[in-house]
Amino acid sequence: MTFRVPASSDNDGDALLADTVRRLADTLRTGDTLQQIPALAVPDLADSCTLVLPPRRGRCAWWRRGVADSARGQAGLRSLRQLPALSAALDGQLAHGAQVAGQLADNQWVLPAAFGRVSDAMMVPLLEGDRPIGALVLARRAARPVFSSPERRLVERWAETVGLAATAALVHEDQRRTIELLRAPLLPPDLPELPACTLAQLYRPAREELHIGGDFYDLHPDEAGGGALVVGDVCGNGVEAAVLAGRFRESLRGLLLGDRELVRVLRRLNEAMLDSGDSRFATLVLGELRPCPGGGLSARLAAGGHPPPLVLRAGGGMEEITIPGALVGVLPTAHFAEETVDLAPGDVLCLYTDGLFQAFGERGTPEAEAEQLFRDQLQALHGLGAEELVRRVEQLVAESLDGRDHDDITLVAVQPGGAVRTESDTREIR
């Protein structure tokens, strides 16, 4: 619907404002809102409208709409200095008239191509209270009358209306950027390549929209071609669990820089978590991977209350590596132990969290039964390489869950022998 606003028509002006509110209410994303605002002014108020944000890192973002085209871009400070009226509007001052129109003639980025002579223009600040958050540049072609006093008042009222939407959009964008900044260190890492083995991983948080959860994994390579590998599970899920998981990862990173005695590292990690005063705990498996002659791999494994690692042998058997160990972060006298497993070419070591075997049971399935279902499915995949095995488990998990809620899910598969890995080797199910 288009409203051509006669100078004397308060009803049509109110209708334009009401339509603006309705259409902006349907716009959720920041970029969409800022692009939609200029479009709402054309052709009812002007033949061209450009929304300009204040400079950020030396550049002004802008969105422009003409009668027949739209564009967006960025302008440098030099371009802004050539438009004193726009600079004033970005400082909160309204400007209009022939002098403003004359400035536009020499700065075509604020006008559509082939716009022609400008009969009149307005530079209108967008305000959040008394604070300028941007400015609007409205221009009319020579064939159209200049802005009358009632039309200027309507433009100011309209700018107040869209200013509220722009403020909300910019606040939302700032919040989004802040969340992304805070979330980045909590996202699961891409595991680096190791010359001695191939690794593949699956990660599916309970709160999938957050992309983070209480499960964590990490790999710390060493000069011998192996490295220290950890898979863990913090109690709970969501943001709080992800923050604690991040603390476990960072604490382990620091401890492993100077010490690869796994039991001692777990003791120190337990002490650090107790000293933090947090009542929550974690389970984890910590492994040291070492290449062996003939293409095999030796894995020293220490654990704290975690589901036992499983080894799929190339010949078809599956071995459980039972490792005694207390929960991490509960008891000051916690005891941990270590086991060593040798992997031959074709074997695959699987480290996982309990959310994985829970995914294979129906709602209400006893935990032991769900774990056995997972093991049966995993054993049926013997003979597959680490990457293909993880892909198949991913498919089976998706089929079993069928859209229902679930716990955080993590699987890391380790296979002796290096391989060229692709982006598909690290996947998050969404």
Q: Is residue 102 a part of any domain in this protein?
A: yes
Q: Is residue 51 a part of any domain in this protein?
A: yes
Does 177 share its domain with 194?
no
Does 155 share its domain with 222?
no
Cα dihedral across residues 140, 142, 148, 150: positive or negative: negative
Does 210 share its domain with 155?
no
Does 193 share its domain with 271?
yes
Q: Band of the pLDDT at 414, cuts 50, 70, 90?
A: very high
Which has the closest alpha carbon to 161: 10, 23, 275?
A: 23
Q: What is the DSSP string of 389-418?
A: HHHHHHHHHHHHHTT-----EEEEEEEES-
| Phi, psi angles (nearest 5°) of residue 29 | -85, 145
The residue out of 151, 183, 215 marking a domain boundary is 183
pTM (2 decimals)?
0.67
Does 402 share its domain with 323?
yes
**What percent of the chain stands above pLDDT 70?**
93
> Each residue of 202-224: b (16+ CB within 10 Å) or e?
bbbbbbeebbbbbbbbbbbbeee
Angle at 182 between CA 76 and CA 131, to 5 degrees: 45
Contacts of 425 (CB under 8 A, 6+ apart): 199, 200, 201, 387, 390
Does 175 share its domain with 210?
no
Q: What are 276-333's pLDDT values in tens digits?
A: 877 789 999 999 999 998 889 999 999 999 999 999 999 889 999 999 999 999 999 9
**CATH number for the domain that contains residue 73:** 3.30.450.40
Does 222 share its domain with 132?
no
**CATH number for the domain that contains residue 402:** 3.60.40.10
Number of domains in the chain: 2
Does 208 share its domain with 85?
no
Mean of pLDDT values over 79-104: 91
Separation between Cα atoms, residue 85 and residue 93, nearest integer Å: 8
Q: Is residue 363 a part of any domain in this protein?
A: yes
Does 297 share its domain with 420?
yes
Separation between Cα atoms, residue 209 and residue 207, nearest integer Å: 6
The residue out of 156, 183, 210 marking a domain boundary is 183
Q: Is residue 1 a part of any domain in this protein?
A: no
Q: Band of the pLDDT at 12, cuts 50, 70, 90?
A: low
Q: Band of the pLDDT at 363, cuts 50, 70, 90?
A: confident
Q: Which pLDDT score, from 0 to 100, does residue 29 have?
A: 61
Q: What are 162-196's pLDDT values in tens digits?
A: 998 888 888 888 887 887 777 777 888 888 889 88
Mean of pLDDT values over 375-386: 93
The range of the structural domain enclosing residue 137 comes to 10-183
Does 24 share its domain with 90?
yes
Q: Is residue 5 a part of any domain in this protein?
A: no
Q: What are 243-253's pLDDT values in tens digits?
A: 888 889 999 99
Q: Is residue 4 a part of any domain in this protein?
A: no
The residue out of 141, 164, 183 marking a domain boundary is 183
H or E element that contains 51:
strand 48-52
More confident call, 46 vs 429: 46
Does 194 share its domain with 138?
no
